[in-house]
Chain A
Amino acid sequence: MNNVRAFWATAKRELLIRCRYPDWFVAMLLWPILMPTFTVFATQALAGPDNSGGEVFAELAGTSDYIGFVFIGIVMWSWLNTVLWQVGATLRTEQRRGTLESNWVTPASRLAIMFGSGLTNMISSLITVAVSLIFCKLMWHIDLTFSPLLGLVFLLSTAAIYGLGLIFASLVLLVRELNSAVNFVRGMFMVFCGITYPISVMPHWMQTVAKGLPLTYSIRLIREIGLAGAGYRDVSDAFWILFAFAVSLLAGGYMLFILMDRIAARKGILGQY
Chain B
Amino acid sequence: MSTVNSIEVENLRRVFTRRTPRKLPWQRNRQVNGNELCVTGSDKSGNQPKTTVAVDGISFEIQSGEIFGLLGPNGAGKTTTIKMLCTLLEPTSGTARVGGYDIVREPAKVRGSMGTVFSGERSLYWKLTGRENLEYFAALYDVEPSTTASKIDSLLSKMDLESKSNEPVERYSTGMRQRLAVARALLADPPVVLLDEPTAGLDPQSARNLRDTVRSLRDEGHTILLTTHYMAEADELCNRIAIIDHGRIIALDTPAALKAGLQEMHSLEVEVDRAPDGVLDELRSLPLVRGVESHASNNGLETWTIRVLTEDSRQTLDALLDLLRASGDRVLNMKANEPTLEDVFIALTGKSLRD
Contacts and interface: CB of A to CB of B under 8 A. Distances in A.
Interface of A: 1-2, 5-6, 8-10, 12-13, 16-17, 20-21, 97-99, 101-108, 113, 265-268, 270-271
A13 B126 CA distance: 11
Given A16-B132, A266-B90, A106 B141 contact: yes
27 contacts: A1-B108, A1-B112, A2-B139, A2-B142, A6-B139, A9-B139, A13-B125, A13-B136, A17-B128, A20-B127, A21-B127, A97-B126, A98-B120, A98-B123, A99-B124, A99-B125, A101-B123, A102-B118, A102-B184, A105-B114, A106-B140, A107-B109, A108-B141, A108-B142, A267-B16, A268-B16, A268-B83
B257 to A, nearest CB: 33
Contacts of B127: 16-17, 20-21
Contacts of A9: 135-136, 139-140
B232 to A, nearest CB: 28
| Residue of B114, B125, B140, B184 most packed against chain A (CB within 10 A) | B140
B88 A102 contact: no
A199 B128 CA distance: 47
B325 interface: no
B75 interface: no
Given A8-B139, A102-B184, A107-B109, 4 more contacts: A2-B142, A9-B140, A17-B125, A97-B122
Contact of A20 (B14, B112, B168): B168
Given A6-B140, A9-B139, A102-B118, A107 B125 contact: no
Interface string B254-275: 0000000000000000000000
Contacts of A102: 116, 118, 123-124, 137, 181, 184
Contact of A270 (B14, B88, B181, B184): B88
- Please name the 6 residue pairs, one residue from A and one from B, whose CB atoms are nearest each other, closest first: A98-B122, A9-B139, A106-B140, A107-B112, A108-B140, A102-B123
Contacts of A17: 125, 127-128
A158 B318 CA distance: 81
Contact of A113 (B114, B140, B141): B140
Interface string B180-194: 010010000000000
Interface residues of B, number: 36
A210 B140 CA distance: 42
| Residue of B14, B89, B109, B145 most packed against chain A (CB within 10 A) | B89
Interface in B66-119: 80, 83, 86-90, 108-109, 111-112, 114, 116, 118
Contacts of A104: 88
A97 B137 contact: no
A267 B128 CA distance: 31
A265 B111 contact: no
A21 B128 CA distance: 12
A271 B82 CA distance: 13
B108 A105 contact: no
B142 A101 contact: no
A127 B275 CA distance: 64
A266 B92 CA distance: 8
A13 B128 CA distance: 8
Interface in B158-202: 168, 181, 184
A261 to B, nearest CB: 11
A265 B90 contact: yes
Nearest to A107: B112
A265 B88 contact: yes
Nearest to B79: A271
Contacts of A97: 122, 125-126
A16 B133 CA distance: 11
Given A20-B127, A99-B122, A101-B123, A107 B88 contact: no
| Residue of B88, B137, B145 most packed against chain A (CB within 10 A) | B88
A103 B88 contact: no
Contacts of A113: 140
Given A20-B127, A98-B123, A104-B88, A12 B142 contact: no
B140 A103 contact: yes
Given A17-B125, A98-B123, A265 B89 contact: yes
